[in-house]
Each structure stands twice: as C-alpha cells, then as structure tokens.
A and B are shown apart, each in its own frame.
Chain A
C-alpha cells in the first residue's frame, strides 16, 4: 500500500460515518421542513405566525440577557482570578468551572432547589417566592450554564494581556475606570465577543434546562420538542431546527475565528 492510499484509508471511516449519520440526516431534515402543508413558505410562517414569532423574540431576549450577565460576571471574576494570587484561589476557580460537566437537566434541577416550591428562597423569605418555572428561573439556569464557559475563555485571554500596558496607563494618570475601558476591554475584546457568542448560542439551543424549567414558557427548543411530539407538526419542528442550527452554527463560527477556542456547547 502506498503512503497516499494509507492516508486515504485512514480517512475513510470518518467519511462514511459523517456521510451516513450527519450529512444525509441533515439533508433529510431540510427536505422534511418543506413537506408540510405550507411548503417552503413554512420559513415565512415562523415570522408571520404570532406563536412562533413571539417564541423567537422571547428566546433571543432571554439569550441576550444571559449573554450580558455572564459576560459581566465572568469577566470581573476572570480578571480578578488571573491578576491576583491568594490562598483559596484554586478552590474558587474549581468551583467556577465545576458546572462544565453538568448537563442542562441537572442545572434545571439545581434552579428548582433554589427557586422551586420547596426551594431555598421560598424557605428563607416570607410569602411564596417561586421563580424556578418562570423566565427568571430559565435565565438563571442559562446563566449557571454560561458562567464557567465564558470564564475560561476570558481567563485564557487575560493571561496573554500585557500587565505593563495597564501600569503605563496608570502611571500616566488614568483612573481605574479609564484603565478598564481603554486598556483591558479593548485587549479582551476578541475573546469577549467570542465567549458572548458562545453564551448566546448555547442559551438559544439549550434544551435540557428548558425541559426541566420551561414547562409553561415557549422558547425555541421547547416549541421544536412540542411541535414534534405533541402536535406531530414535523415540518415546523424541522424548519425551526434548521433555523436554530444555522443561527448557533454561524455564531460559533464567529466565536472560533476570533478566539480559536472550542468550549463544548452541549446543554
């Protein structure tokens, strides 16, 4: 066997597997989206019918809120942890990255423990404060999911940031606010956009968390699920999946071209 043949043989199993279980199923999914009563106009229906449009708007809003909250929290914590060395730093870092391996369902359950009927907040406060099954609970669940991912991306970038630039700015009399705005944020910008895109994309597509918490909230993954299982509206489920898949894929492509990281989307 020649060298070239050997290398080709090495790629064959991957090629066959991804053809059979990725390329062909995705083509089938795309075709299925046009097989409904509406035909290909089904993609217009997503924007025309209030039920789907409202779902789209709500999903984008919750995802945006998650993105900005996760960016604010994780950038602050990430800068703090990469710039300071103190006892217990390792422990804090472990706590903040621990949830990386938690599936969305488990995170949903943890939010129920915080804000459900038997939850911590309901026990500690007078009156019935139950937020787990509302948009707030969903937001907190997505935030829980995103904090570790954004943190790791930001910290990797912060390690590469040159501290002498900040010192130079400071000696020239810049206030801490100006140092953050003029030196740190621009330096981190590529990774902020990248991790923001990751947070947004994972929130858009998060099924596990929504499955546990959003029993009464229409977010895209839940609508895809109910269209498929309850109403057997396969064309709409397929169309929404295609749209969702293209959006998250495009966002993560941007993220990767800016920072080169691959944090598991999952969820």
Chain B
C-alpha cells in the first residue's frame, strides 16, 4: 500500500515537472500561429506572424546558420588534430591543456565576452566583423568537439594500430588520415552536431560581441521579446524550435552512440 503511494507521489512530481516544461513551450508554439493571442485561439490560426518573422529576421537566421557552419569548420580544423595529439600524448601537460580549453564550459559567457572585448575591442575592423562573433562561438564549442573525439580515441588501442601501419611504411600523415580519422568518426559526428546545436543557440557571448548590423538568431529573439508583439515573438521562437529540436535529437542520438563506442 505504502509502496504504491510512493509511486503515485513520484509520478505526480514527474508529471508536474513535465507540465512545467511543456506547457509554456506549447503556449509559445500556439501563440505564434494565433491571429490574436489576447482574444485566444478563437480569433483563428494564421501563418502571417511566421511570414512577418521571415521579413524581419531572415538575415539573422541566415547569419546564425552561416556562423554555425563556419564554427563547425574551424572547430574541426583545430579540434580533430588536437584530440589526436592529446590522445597520443596522455600526460599531465595534455591534461592541463585539456582542462584549460574547457574553461569556457565553466566560466560564464558574459565574462569571456568581456575579456575578448577588453583585448580586441579597439581593433575596429575585427571588432565589427562577423569573425569576432565566430571567435566567441569557437571558444565556447571547441571543448565539446575535442572531448567528444578524445573520448572515442582514448577507448581504442591507437598505439598498436599505428605501429602496425608504421611497420608497413605509412607516414604519420597517412596514419592520421587512414586510421585515426575513420576510427574517430562517431566522435567527430557527435562533436559536430553538438557544435552546430550550441552555436545556433548561443546567446551569452554573442549578445556582448554582436553589432547592430550582425544579429544572430538568439540575439534577434531577445530583440523581439523586448520590442515586438507577443505573436511575433512567439512565431520567431517557433522558427527557432523547428531548427533546434531536430538538431538536439540528432545530437543526443550521436552522443549516445559515441559513448557506447567509448566504453
């Protein structure tokens, strides 16, 4: 009897938490397609707010997509070889370097953005270009890429595989290309999806680094929450959900797969 009571209590807490997370999300989706939110759904469903968002914010949506792709490319170029280097030389120096590049996971984006602004804010050309925002995004997402690949590489017997290839005359570059990269693929995929998802949603750094001509999707969202009517803000949030939710699901699938391999 008491056992079932405990279960009912647990279920109630679980369902309440679900309701707390889901209800406002659904409200925002609904408000984005309602003709007049104040009057309610009876005023009719419409896509005009979504069109309005497209008119107002298409630029920021494209900027975010572009930044996410650029961020992915840069984190791959820096992160893939770095993960390999860290995996081949596990020692206190590698641990320290890994720990150091992971700082942006722990230090709030606001503080990192202030630090970047202090050092580079006076370089007007750099400060005003999209690459300044890109630096912030790479800073924040790079540790995810490195750790994701490193976890997969650390689980396999890299040394034996490479020695085998070296004895057959493969150069370090050939071994990297033909052994390391194919074997690291699950980690690369999981890292890539994480980088893109995080880059598209990044706000804390971007808000400080952006200029009026360079607004990313989340910056535009904050803008619409402050100055647009509720329906437009909701429709914009809806567009964001449509973009981010499939990415999140793909990311969770890929990370789960990479973790199983890493074990």
A contacts, CB < 8 Å to B: 1-3, 6-11, 13-15, 17-18, 21-26, 28-29, 32, 73-74, 76-77, 79-81, 84, 92, 95-106, 108-114, 118, 120, 140, 143-144, 147-148, 175-176, 201, 204-208, 211-212, 221, 224-225, 228, 234, 237-238, 241-242, 244-245, 248-249, 251-253, 262, 264-267
CA distance A206 to B204 in the complex (A): 8
B146 interfacial contact with A, CB 8 Å: yes
Task: Report the minimal beta-carbon distance from A42 to chain B, rounded to whole angstroms.
Answer: 15
Q: A118-B230, A264-B144 are in contact. List 13 more A-B contacts (CB 8 A).
A: A6-B173, A14-B101, A21-B135, A22-B139, A25-B115, A28-B115, A76-B9, A104-B204, A114-B24, A176-B6, A241-B110, A241-B115, A266-B198
Count A-B pairs with CB separation below 8 Å.
Answer: 252
A113 in contact with B244 given A118-B37, A248-B108 (CB within 8 Å): no
4 A-B pairs with the lowest CB-CB distances in the bound complex, closest first = A205-B108, A25-B115, A6-B172, A241-B111
- How extensive is the interface on chain B, given as a class? 35 or more
B81 touches A92 (CB 8 A): no
Query: Would you call B17 and A211 a contact (CB within 8 A)?
Result: no
- Name which residue of chain B comes closest to A156, CB basis: B259
Contact A25 B25 (CB under 8 A): no
Closest to A77 in B: B14
| Chain B interface, >50% SS class | helix
Q: Is B161 an interface residue (CB 8 A)?
A: no
Could you tell me if B115 and A29 are in contact, using CB atoms closer than 8 angstroms?
yes
Residue in chain B with minimal CB distance to A13: B78
B130 within 8 A of A: no
B residues at A contact (CB < 8 Å):
2-3, 6-7, 9-11, 13-18, 20-25, 27-28, 31, 37-38, 77-79, 81-82, 84-86, 88-89, 97, 100-112, 114-116, 118-120, 135, 138-139, 142, 144, 146-147, 166, 171-173, 176, 197-198, 201-204, 207, 218, 221-222, 225, 230, 233-234, 237, 240, 244-245, 247-248, 251-252
Are A21 and B116 closer than 8 Å at their CB atoms? Answer: yes
Q: Decide if A14 touches B82 in the complex (CB within 8 Å).
A: yes
Residues in chain B near residue A109, CB distance under 8 A:
28, 221, 225, 233, 237
Q: Decide if B119 touches A99 in the complex (CB within 8 Å).
A: no
Q: Which residues of chain B are within 8 angstroms of A244 by Cβ–Cβ distance? A: 108, 111
* CB-defined A-B contacts under 8 Å, sample of 11: A11-B97, A25-B115, A32-B118, A74-B17, A77-B13, A103-B221, A105-B225, A106-B221, A109-B237, A118-B37, A147-B21
The residue on B at minimum CB distance from A5 is: B172
Residues of A within 8 A of B197 (CB): 101
Given contacts A7-B88, A77-B10, A118-B37, contact A262 B108 (CB under 8 A): no
Check B81 against A225 for contact (C-beta < 8 Å): no
Residues of chain A with a CB closer than 8 A to B21's CB = 95-96, 98-99, 144, 147-148
